[in-house]
A and B are shown apart, each in its own frame.
Chain A
Amino acid sequence: MSFASYSYLIFLALTLSLYSIVKPSMRRPLLLIFSYGFYATWNSVFCILLGASSIVNWGLGRVLQNRKNVFVLWGGILVNLLALAYFKYLAFLTANFLSFIGIFGFESSLFLSASKWSVMLPLGISFFTFEGISYLVDVYAGDDAANSPVDYALYVAFWPHLLAGPILRFTDMSGQILRPADISFEGISAGWKRILIGLFKKVILADTVAPFVESVFANGASPNFVDVVAGTIAFGLQIYFDFSGYSDIAIGSSRAFGFRFPENFNWPYAALGMQQFWSKWHMTLSQWIKDYVFGPLAFAKPKSYLWIGVSLLVSMALCGLWHGANWTYLAWGAWHGAFLIVFRGPKDRHKESTMPSIFYWIATVLVVNSGWLIFRSDSLSHAFDFSMAVLTIKGGLRPAILRENAVAVISAIAVATYSVNFLKMANWKTPAWFSTFMNQPVARALVYVAATCAMIIFDREAASFVYFQF
């Protein structure tokens, strides 16, 4: 069941209705049952995996609360990582191992082919595995463990964040889970508005550019300079609107039940420098990487700039690999890691800077979009070919794949998005008349009705979210 579907809206309304009428003590079990039901609509078999992962992590958490045993901690981390490695990276690791031994003359046919090791990826495994690891580390570090397995299971499986985040910490959720809130008009109203915003981003913006991206980056396509530039910009827009739209729906859905999730995006395309970008893009993942990978690595040795740089590069490469089993993701992570070292951005934008903000902003946009080219390519050689098409201005200004309409649509959405982000970056204040106008109930109702109608009319029959594949 996709968030961008009528089924989900019915599911949400049904759950909300039941949630409001059951006794407070039944709210947690109710949410847990519906969360597993939601997950089962994708693949019921993997509910067992989700349940097993929850029980193991809850049990280990209880052990760690009583005895701070480092072996238990590392054992728990390993169990989580092994599950992730088996489902997500086995085929990739096997293929690369076979290629590697092939260098030494071993026949790969002696072994099973890499495709035999390919297993179905359980949706959301990257997310609930990271949540499991953070839980164990936090409990080891002194946080309270979950008393009841239901509490822990609900923290992991609560459907708004289960498949594609935000990545939550148990401490963020424990208080909310222990005392589930009553539903309120404000909660439902704010939640519904947020859901509408998310759906608009997904259905109107992300899904509009998705077919153009698909045609440019398709296997066997031979794009010109214009195609690659437009396709890469379009992908940057697609992944942003798709993923931030998903996060909006997740935050809005949880808000309707009185839960508050952390924000995942904060105007990332308004960032000045890569450090700022990562404090605005997929914020819960970058915080997770910072706390659980970069921090321990960087502080493992006495202060050394070289070591901190290496730690950053490794952390970001792993962050890239988290997105999928492909060298392109690793390269994308390394690309960001390298630019985090050499192009952090202004330390304090209000202080005198060697470069005006606009140059920082343009440079950030260029670095981020170049990164998307690597990220979206099927392989590194594909990414290289695309980069060459850009560098050699292949085909001049004539596209080979995208029609003029497609280039016009991408340009229109890109100009609108980057203009708004630029104004945000420049701290442009909304004119008073506009704020006053938008505060009128009639104006807000008109905007939301227009958005709703646009979503109904331009609905592409609920295409799936990009971040599900990670």
Chain B
Amino acid sequence: MQSLKKQEKVPQAHSDSGRLTLVTPEETNNLRTSTSAISAFRRILSRISSSAICLYLSLFVAINLLVVRYEHEISQERAHNLMTDTLSESNGTTTFDRSVGEATQEYWGLIPDGRSGRLAILLGMSQTYSINDRQNGDLALPDLLHENLGKIGVESFGLLAPNLANEEALFLFLATLTNPKTKPKALIFGACFDKFRNVDLRPGYQRFMSSLPGTSALWSEVSARYRTSHPEATSKMVRTLQEIQTATIEDEGFEGRVRDAVSRVIPIVRARKQLQGDALNKLYELRNRVFRIKTSSKRPMLASRYLMNKQFVEILIAEAQRNGVKLIFYVNPLNPQGENPYVAEEYEEFKQWMANVASSSGISFANFESIVPAADWGMWLDGPDFKHFKAAGHRILSEAITKRFEDDFREIAEGVQK
């Protein structure tokens, strides 16, 4: 057993070997002989004031002062990134989640009462709410739909966010089903091809899911229901839920409260989300510059993600039909003069798939790809914006939706009258 004895021992206590040994024997003895805790503290304070730590603390304070000075600008920058600075002006009636996924819970109560049987929910990405070259009085799609459908007798509300992924669309839809007050009679969904590269729920929706009773249970139930038929998407749903539940424990526990308290005292902690968004945006810009990436640079589909996204859409369709919700699908308009980042064959396959799914499921479908003329699109970064149109484009799309699916909307309104 002696052979088990270690040949080399790690540094013993107070030995002067090892890279972290900074205490001189003299200092150690001095400290050891000191019996007074107060004198030890004084000693430490005097060392702090004459060392790099003092500089470190001073710099940290200076950075926090800078954050306080530029907090407003940082918030504006974030609003610009989320495209919320291009929102239509609120004319008294809130027609969509104006936090665009950042604080959906604050807008949830503004959804018209679904128990009337006349509620239509619009799901969509930034195209639906962002107005390119916005002028005073311009209205966006959810405002215009609210007006148009209101004339028919249908109330609408938009659950919109930049880059809304299909997993998020499914989540928002399931969230509306958890309460008769928010359960819609119709769901209008503008499918966007490049969003089939995205997965995950953004932090705002994650927080919302954990705050909304019943949504997690329904999410879990739905993932179990389609486990065999849609394995990729449902596995992702399980992972998303696990992630949210872990995060919820942290947020609601002691650490969450400590974090809140710290953020009230330290400005950089308070502004961390805005700063993170800003920093990531700068990194994207750097990436674009280094790799010469443009908005039109081709972005091929990612096979596994594409499959997962198709499955999310199929689950959305199946759940809508299961719950008696009328589905209205359309393919998003694209700028005819702006070069898009799609690989042509992949995009054609996508449109065909959408049409096939709609026809086999018996849901209302239209391809609005070319309905907005070139003149009604604006500019973005390095050229024509292929995704966001001006106010006129919003009006055209709103009218197209109203007219093309008029029978569906009238059916909803008449169903109530009967």
Contact = CB atoms under 8 A, between A and B. Distances in A.
B9 A400 contact: no
A140 B1 contact: yes
Contacts of B238: 219
Interface string A170-206: 0110011001011111111110001000000000000
26 contacts: A5-B255, A20-B40, A141-B5, A172-B10, A181-B13, A184-B27, A184-B28, A184-B31, A185-B51, A186-B23, A186-B27, A187-B22, A214-B239, A219-B235, A220-B232, A222-B304, A251-B20, A262-B10, A291-B6, A398-B300, A441-B51, A441-B52, A441-B55, A445-B58, A449-B59, A456-B268
B5 A6 contact: no
Interface stretch (B269-277, B350-358, B400-408): B269-277
B305 A182 contact: no
B305 A400 contact: yes
Given A262-B10, A449-B60, A224 B5 contact: no
B23 A405 contact: no
A261 B28 CA distance: 18
Interface stretch (B42-50, B315-323, B378-386, B387-395): B42-50
Contact of A445 (B12, B40, B55, B304): B55
B68 interface: no
A360 interface: no
Contacts of B275: 457
Nearest to B6: A291
A218 B238 CA distance: 10
B60 A452 contact: yes
A121 to B, nearest CB: 16
Interface of B: 1-6, 9-15, 18, 20, 22-23, 27-28, 31-32, 34, 37, 40-41, 43-44, 47-48, 51-53, 55-56, 58-60, 63, 197, 199, 231-232, 234-236, 238-239, 246-247, 250-251, 254-255, 258-259, 262, 266, 268-269, 272, 275-276, 279, 287, 291, 299-300, 302-305, 307
Overall SS of chain B's interface: helix
Interface stretch (A124-132, A327-335, A344-352, A459-467): A459-467
Given A179-B13, A457-B275, A1 B255 contact: yes
Nearest to B22: A186
Contact of B247 (A224, A400, A461): A461
B287 to A, nearest CB: 7
A187 B23 contact: yes
A352 to B, nearest CB: 28
Contact of B4 (A223, A291, A398, A444): A291
B250 A218 contact: no
Interface in A33-65: 41
Contacts of B32: 182
A260 interface: yes
A42 to B, nearest CB: 11
A309 interface: no
Contacts of A102: none
A299 interface: yes
A7 interface: yes
Interface string A212-240: 00110011111110010000000000000
A295 B279 contact: no
B305 A21 contact: no
Question: Which residue of B32, B56, B247, B305 has the most chain A CB atoms within 10 A of its CB atom?
Answer: B56
Interface string A387-419: 000000001001111111100100000000000
A248 to B, nearest CB: 11
A432 interface: no
Contact of B303 (A142, A287, A395): A395
Contact of B9 (A141, A142, A171, A401): A171
Question: Which residue of A182, A214, A399 has the most chain B CB atoms within 10 A of its CB atom?
Answer: A182
Contact of A221 (B20, B58, B304): B304
A458 interface: yes
Contact of A137 (B4, B40, B47, B251): B4
Contacts of B34: 182
A255 interface: yes
A156 B52 CA distance: 35
Given A141-B1, A184-B23, A260-B20, A457 B276 contact: yes
A196 B307 CA distance: 42
A13 interface: no
Contacts of B14: 181, 258, 260
Interface in A422-453: 441-442, 444-446, 448-449, 452-453
B20 A190 contact: yes
Contact of B304 (A262, A287, A401, A461): A401
A169 interface: yes
Contacts of A287: 6
A10 interface: yes
A75 interface: no
A143 B397 CA distance: 83
A356 B258 CA distance: 53
A259 interface: yes
Nearest to B234: A220
Contacts of A181: 13-14, 28
A6 B231 contact: no
A447 to B, nearest CB: 9
Given A456-B272, A457-B279, A462-B255, A260 B13 contact: yes
Contacts of B23: 184, 186-187
Given A141-B5, A461-B247, A461-B250, A6 B40 contact: no
Nearest to A191: B20
Contacts of A395: 303
A292 interface: yes
Contacts of B5: 138, 141-142
